[in-house]
Chains A and B, each alone.
Chain A
């Protein structure tokens, strides 16, 4: 037994032991929330990508940090498939009078989708009964728009019904959020466009749902990508970090950890004078850029 002979008489010692001796997949979990990624550009306003099931916990965070006072929340939608909007009915600040929620995106169906999921018989609170002031703002794809001090550039992605990736820039730092995005290896135009989006990014949050073999064979045209493609695109673009995101729901913690190990190894095998840090996103992960 690993704990034999150890003096673990306090919680601190026990936690330190677990942290030191066990892999992430045993001591914690990658979680299972669908997409909801906050970034903090140093503003009083909140910025978040997608309103998946993680939006409930994000809402609690906003209410706690604002001590119950109304906030301004800028949302950026990749697309409106259900796993990307399903958290909004449970987003606490939407029920707080005075809160301003600005939902940005490039689709013309975003408001329709948000209202639809709160229509009977799906949910008991109609969209019009929400207390917050909610705006829907259409962003032009391929163009940079300033949103409360953040430069936001959306890019069209290959996914059923279209999806959009985003590059956010502020204070000399850059974040790319690109999920639900399939990459066709035969398309130079695809590669060049994403290399431009990822160029020198401090962090790329990347859809790595499938293995490469699955993504180009049995799951081709399913609208998702792979760890290998993510690393290659980031290497060409000389991005600094990649977070593997949108994990395959069929994978358990051990599977995701194994994919992370392999992706780190792939980066080692293929790096040519540029180091890319590889990590796997998990619920509650926080990073400094």
Chain B
């Protein structure tokens, strides 16, 4: 599983790709912790997970998103989910993670809800 990052104004966008499951969730969690603790990201308004390239997420992977949300909240930030593929969206629904993490159909819509500046930066990129 790959994890790439982009910064749009004051919002960090993290894009995991592939499958997130029991075998790689520990590495994913460590990477998230690093990103969320990086200077700059803690001051960011929030983090958007662009799940457009995430094919599958297991319960252990879902827990990583929840821990990231807790970590972001501790810094006054917010975690949003965006652009889920249908299978991943169904897993969010069945697990009821859809009730604890806010999701948007597109990355831009998620950025717009956090800050207009980040949406404009996304449009320009």
Contact = CB atoms under 8 A, between A and B. Distances in A.
Contacts of B73: none
Which of B91, B95, B97, B100 gathers most chain A CB within 10 Å? B95
Nearest to B70: A217
Contact of B96 (A185, A186, A211): A211
Contacts, number: 53
Interface in B50-77: 56, 58-60, 62-63, 66
A264 B51 CA distance: 24
Interface of A: 185-186, 191, 211-214, 216-217, 226-229, 232, 236, 262-263, 265-266, 269-270
B59 A269 contact: no
Contacts of A214: 96
B90 interface: yes
A168 B56 CA distance: 34
Interface string B16-36: 000000100100000000000
Contact of A191 (B22, B90, B99): B22
B3 interface: no
A265 B90 contact: yes
Nearest to B25: A185
A213 B90 CA distance: 14
Contacts of A269: 87, 90-91
Interface string B75-109: 00000000000010011011111011000000000
B91 A216 contact: no
Interface residues of B, number: 19
A214 B60 CA distance: 14
Interface of B: 22, 25, 56, 58-60, 62-63, 66, 87, 90-91, 93-97, 99-100
B100 A213 contact: yes
B14 to A, nearest CB: 20
Nearest to B29: A186
B59 A212 contact: yes
A185 B94 contact: no
A247 to B, nearest CB: 15
B90 A228 contact: no
Given A265-B90, A269-B87, A269-B90, A228 B95 contact: yes
B59 A217 contact: no
A47 B87 CA distance: 42
Contacts of A213: 62, 66, 95-97, 99-100
A227 B94 CA distance: 9
Contact of B63 (A186, A211, A263): A186
A26 B94 CA distance: 22
A211 B95 contact: yes
Which of A186, A191, A236, A265 gathers most chain B CB within 10 Å? A186
Contacts of B22: 191, 232, 236
A54 B63 CA distance: 35
